[in-house]
Amino acid sequence: MELARAVSARRLLRWQSAWARPRGWVCSACSSRGSFPAAASRRYSSDQASTASATPPPAPGKPYYVTTPIFYVNAAPHIGHMYSMVLADVFKRWHTLLGKQAFLCTGTDEHGMKVQLAAAAAKLNPKQLCDENAAKFEELAQLVGIDYDRFIRTTDPDHLRAVEHFWILLQERGFVYETKHEGWYSVSDECFYPESQIIKSQDPFSGEIFVASAETKNKVEWVEEKNYCFRMKAFKDRLLDFYKANPGWIEPAYRLNEVVDWVTNHLEDLSISRPAQRLGWGIRVPHDPSQTIYVWVDALINYLTAAGFPASPLGDPSRAAWPADLQVIGKDILRFHCVYWPALLMALDLPLPKKMLAHSHWTLNSRKMSKSLGNVVNPVQAVSRWGADGTRFYLLFEGGIADDASYNNEVLMVKYKKYLQGGIGNLLSRVARSPRWNLAEVVESSLRSEPGTGLETSRPELRTAMQDLEAAITDLPSRVAACMAKHDPVTAIREVFKLVTSLNEFLTVTQPWDLIQVDNPAARLVAEQVIFLAAEGVRVMGILLQPFMPGKATQLLNSLGVADDRRTFGHTALRGDPSYGVPREDLGRGRTTGLFPPLVGDIDFRPGRTRGGRRGAKTDHPILVTET
């Protein structure tokens, strides 16, 4: 784990510039020393620090920058957090597959009232609670193979400086004013709600009547206090103009209607501080330690911190990652990211994110998972049972972008057996592990011959089936790419597994493992064409599955003997790799050593069953070779 964290730190150093002194400003952390340090110590993981006096300049060109929301540390992570991580990771890896530089930021949101209360309940100081739970989120990211470049914590020193600098710039531009604020405040949601969004609600168990947010149904209380406000209403027209000019800014597109409705009907100036006597756990307002910066202002700025703010010239494509190309968020934080965040950026004339992907929730019994309610799926337990890639597959195959998805272990087991164990795993075994042919020789022989060689005497059904499969393999990369361009990984991975099913059905009908032993050169030639086509399908699918199931895709490509430098999107062309076929790792024997072995206690030991589930050899092949 220490090695993984060190690698994470080195990745970050490639992208971030050395800190420079902001003009006319000294952060509170350094004011006692009277100067801003030429270089700052930065923490890149929960328990590791790295210090550098200078960092290497980033490679030319802006990287593809993708973020997850940063996760609140008042409790341990659940499967919904893992889903956000996996979605962002898929897009980072996809753009890497396309040959682009890519940068992924994830991390934890560690300030605010909920953390303060959770720490008090656990009899810990807030930083102790944050350290413990931030480590759990980072370990989860590593457990499920998230290829993050920065794991940011809002307690990191560089983030504190970025937030203070952002605040100072807002003040200098006249967008912050001091006022006595009053309104309906929700501790659970960490925000105020306008009168138009307040309803009466009743606890179904105790019968208690209380005032709640119409949006979240969480309890609110009337609060009167001195704080600072951000002139949000000054950006109403500019926000609405931006939404109108960018109707596809949010995916799925219909969620933009919710945002437009809020800005049109409910927009008010935003309270952006809390009295320190009520909320002590947070970043203090520069030059006014009696006030603590509102947790959502603090949290949103993390995306800039990771991109090098304030040292890096944000928006300069040659020197900075910002603006984010994709920000992955849950639908419940839509307003914070699609109303508050763009308004804050507009206030400083900073570029807005290019795309917001607001995914739906995972539910249990059609009820949103919630740490406070306790109805959550432990992602660590899920991974221990199904494996990292098995769990990733299920979340991506069944997950909801537009609509909520229901987590169900029985459904997961069915999907595992059908698509993983009996699908891609079985297909790889049939192609790569058969003792009846040498895959490298089949590949070499087939690539020497013209496509379709040996099929002249075959029945028309076989020729048609092979032509259809060739077309499907050829078209698959562009179909998957089209889905990813539309930010639809669910359809993308389903496209891959459609071909898995087709190839397995094709091999079941043609049975090349029997035909290749027939003392008939024409039949053998046909069998080799069948095997090669199946192998090409597996190779192409293995390359395309790398962003989705990186561990198993690597194992699959190693089993086929695909070289490391032949695993890019450019190598997904049919007949695009003449060099594979010699396995690069032990293929194992039997079902228990396959790509996706049977689940514990689920192995079929019935007498007469052989690998592949056949009770005996079928010897006639009605669609393969015309009798002579």
Domain contains 69 = no
Give the pLDDT of residue 370: 66
Range of the domain at 557: 426-593
Domain contains 37 = no
Last residue of a domain, one of 255, 275, 295: 275
Give the pLDDT of residue 608: 44
Give the pLDDT of residue 46: 33
Give the pLDDT of residue 463: 82
β-pair partners for 222? 184
Per-position b or e across 555-571, b if 16+ CB within 10 A of its CB: bbbbbbbbeeebbebeb
Give the pLDDT of residue 593: 85
Give the pLDDT of residue 197: 72
Amino acid present at 203: D
| Terminal Cα distance for the chain, rounded | 64
| C-alpha distances in Å from residue 301, one per residue of 88, 177, 202 | 18, 20, 36
CA distance 178 to 227: 6
Domain tally, the chain: 2
Structure tokens, 444: 């070499």
545 φ/ψ angles, rounded to the nearest 5 degrees? -85, -5
Tell me the pLDDT tens digit for each residue of 82-134: 999 999 999 999 999 999 999 999 999 999 999 999 999 999 999 999 999 99
Last residue of a domain, one of 227, 253, 275: 275
Rounded to 10 deg, the angle between the 489-510 and 388-398 helix axes is 110
DSSP string, 550-568: HHHHHHHHHHHT--GGG-S
Last residue of a domain, one of 275, 307, 336: 275
301 φ/ψ angles, rounded to the nearest 5 degrees? -70, -15
Give the pLDDT of residue 141: 97
Domain contains 227 = yes
Domain contains 339 = no
Give the pLDDT of residue 286: 96
CATH of the domain at 456: 1.10.730.10
CA distance 529 to 437: 12
| Strand boundaries in 268-384, DSSP class E | 270-271, 273-275, 284-285, 288-293, 326-330, 356-359, 362-364, 367-368
Domain contains 89 = no
Domain contains 501 = yes
CATH of the domain at 197: 2.170.220.10
Domain contains 201 = yes
CA distance 116 to 107: 19
Domain contains 485 = yes
CA distance 496 to 412: 18
Tell me the pLDDT tens digit for each residue of 532-555: 999 999 999 999 999 999 999 999
Quick one: which of 470, 465, 431 has its CA closest to 621?
A: 465
562, 435 in Cβ contact below 8 A? no
CA distance 596 to 390: 8
Q: Is the peptide bond before 313 cis (omega within 30 degrees of 0)?
A: no
pLDDT beneath 70: ranges in the chain:
1-60, 181-182, 187-191, 198, 203-207, 215-217, 313-319, 365-366, 368-374, 451-458, 600-628
Q: Output the pTM of the full model.
A: 0.82
